[in-house]
Amino acid sequence: QVQLVESGGGLVQAGGSLRLSCAASGSILSINAMSWYRQAPGKQRNLVATVTSYGRTNYADSVQGRFTISRASAKNTVYLQMNSLKPEDTAVYYCNADVVDAQWGRATDRWGQGTQVTVSS
Q: How far apart are CA 121 and CA 119, in angstroms?
A: 7
Tens digits of residue pLDDT in 19-55? 999 999 999 999 999 999 999 999 999 999 999 999 9
pLDDT at residue 14, rounded to an integer: 98
Tens digits of residue pLDDT in 71-86? 998 889 999 999 999 9
Residues in the chain: 121
* Cβ atoms < 10 Å from Cβ of 9: 19
Band (1; pLDDT cuts 50, 70, 90): confident
First to last CA, the chain: 41
29 near 79, Cβ under 8 Å? no
16 near 117, Cβ under 8 Å? no
